Amino acid sequence: MAERTPTIRKLSEAVVNRIAAGEIIQRPANAIKELIENSLDAGSTSITITVKDGGLKVLQIQDNGHGISKEDLPLVCERFATSKIREFEDLSNIGTYGFRGEALASISHVSHVAITTKTADSACAWKAHYSDGVMVPAKAGGSSDAKPTAGNVGTQILIEDLFFNVPIRKKALKAAAEEYNRIVDVVTRYAIHNSSVSFTCKKVGSNSADFRSTQGSTRDVIRQVYGPAVAKELIDITHHNDELEFKINAVVSNANYNMKKMVFLLFINHRAVDSSNIKRAMENLYSVYLPKNAHAFCYISLEMKPQNVDVNVHPTKKEVMFLNEEKVIEALCDTIKDKLANVNDSRMFKPAQ
Ligand code: ADP
Ligand code: MG
């Protein structure tokens, strides 16, 4: 017997949005990455993150950036609403983390969002609530207008009950402690890469921070986070490659230092990304200098022409593709190898103390 021909139906907008949101915001750590990037885009120098239940109950970020004007508040959580690009061509010349206007929209489809914000020229701060992309009343029967409130210049975004309407996602997540660790990992990466911004991360109700960085050099922040032992054994690497049109800024451990597990912090055009190819290249390179099962500390920031990088290959922007990957990796390895070899040579000729 022939099966009944299935009918094609259009999904409702709410279902479409919730599916799309799930691609961008897979877990609390993705949400915090987007929020940190927004705070950095707003020129903040101080960012405080407060978390409850691994970010599933509360995920809050407070910054001292330029704030959002009251007039823009109705648009903030609307999909594809952004203050950062206007034309498709702008994508090839992007100077901000955000551009798709999707993060807050996505978050508002899978949580309750409240934004309190103040610009320098506003007499007071304004607070608004959001659900499914639109500004909503705080209480049933109330008005959906933004409410005046007290506050400093900057923005506070409060996300409550993340995934309350996606139970299957909630179930798939790890324990709160593990989700919290992932949040701290994201904060750590951004703190090291943005060493002129101070970061704090703590749990709701706790007086002491689980993570705190103060403004300083990249090395200063590495010392604050990973301790003085590794900070003493770091080498700075800067390199401009005219032929391949890229720049390296790296801080890596020398051959006198090693750790049990590799710390590998990679940024491409200021985005925290993963690259198993670059990571493997570093492991191979250090294996010549370090004892077996010992690993290095690598913070590597690569900058290349925006036209050579496609940040749009992955919804969470975690993986990027760039031109001449093999050659870039080779040049990166050569540069680090030279430096490591030099440090070792100079140590060999140092008189014994
Ligand atoms: P995108 O960053 O891609 O523009 P988002 O959904 O992340 O999209 O943010 C939407 C808009 O909200 C931004 O373009 C920006 O104008 C505003 N915004 C979000 N977070 C902040 C913040 N912390 N400070 C100032 N403006 C913000
Ligand atoms: Mg953004």
Model confidence at 1: pLDDT above 70: no
**In degrees, to the nearest 5, what angle opens at C-alpha 237 toward C-alphas 235 and 239?**
170
Is ligand 1 within 6 A of the CB of residue 36? no
Ligand 1 pocket test target in 17, 38, 64, 119 with most atoms within 8 Å of CB: 38
Domain 227-347: give its CATH code. Answer: 3.30.230.10
Q: State whether the beta carbon of 221 lies less than 6 angstroms from ligand 1.
A: no
- What CA–CA distance (Å, rounded) separates 242 from 47? 36
Across the chain, mean pLDDT equals 89
**Does the structure's ipTM exceed the value 0.90?**
yes
Confirm or reject: Cβ of 110 under 6 Å from ligand 1.
no
- The pLDDT-based confidence of 352 (bands split at 50, 70, 90) is very low
Strands (E) across the chain are located at 46-52, 58-63, 112-118, 125-131, 134-136, 147-149, 154-160, 198-203, 211-213, 234-241, 246-253, 263-268, 271-272, 297-304, 309-310, 321-322
40 C-alpha to ligand 1 centroid (Å): 10
Considering the chain, tell me which residue range(s) the CATH 3.30.565.10 domain(s) occupy: 13-213
d(CA 139, CA 144): 9
Find the mean pLDDT for residues 186-202: 97
**DSSP designation for 183:** H
Identify whether the C-beta of residue 26 lies closer than 8 Å to the C-beta of residue 106: no
Instruction: Quick: pLDDT tens for 166-181.
Output: 888 888 888 999 999 9
Q: What are 47-98's pLDDT values in tens digits?
A: 999 999 999 999 999 999 999 999 999 999 888 778 877 777 776 666 677 6
Lowest mean pLDDT of 125-134, 197-206, 226-235, 313-322, name the range.
313-322
The pLDDT, as a whole number, for residue 351 is 46
CATH 3.30.230.10 domain position(s) in the chain = 227-347
Residue 265: strand, helix, or coil: strand
96: enclosing H helix or E strand: none
Q: Does position 353 have pLDDT exceeding 70, yes or no?
A: no
Report the pLDDT value the prediction gives residue 255, as an integer from 0 to 100: 92
pLDDT band at 307 (very low <50, low <70, confident <90, very high): confident
Q: How confident is the model at residue 280 (pLDDT cuts 50, 70, 90)?
A: very high
What is the band of 349 on the pLDDT scale with cuts at 50, 70, 90?
very low
Q: What is the whole-number distance in angstroms between the Cα of residue 205 and the centre of ligand 1?
A: 27
If pLDDT is split at 50, 70 and 90, which confidence band does 346 have?
Answer: low
pLDDT above 90 covers a percentage of the chain that reads 66
Residue 42 is encoded by which pair of tokens?
């707003």
Ligand 2 geometric centre to CA of 36 (Å) = 8
pLDDT in tens, 258-274: 999 999 999 998 988 88
pLDDT in tens, 8-42: 988 888 888 887 787 788 999 999 999 999 999 99
Residues paired with residue 210 on neighbouring β-strands, in sequence order: none
Supply the residue whose CA is at minimum distance from atom 20 of ligand 1. Answer: 38
User: CATH for 13-213, among 3.30.420.340, 3.20.20.70, 3.40.50.10800, 3.30.565.10?
Assistant: 3.30.565.10
pLDDT higher than threshold 70 for residue 326: yes
What's the confidence (pLDDT) of residue 336?
Answer: 94
pLDDT at 347: 53
pLDDT at 305: 87
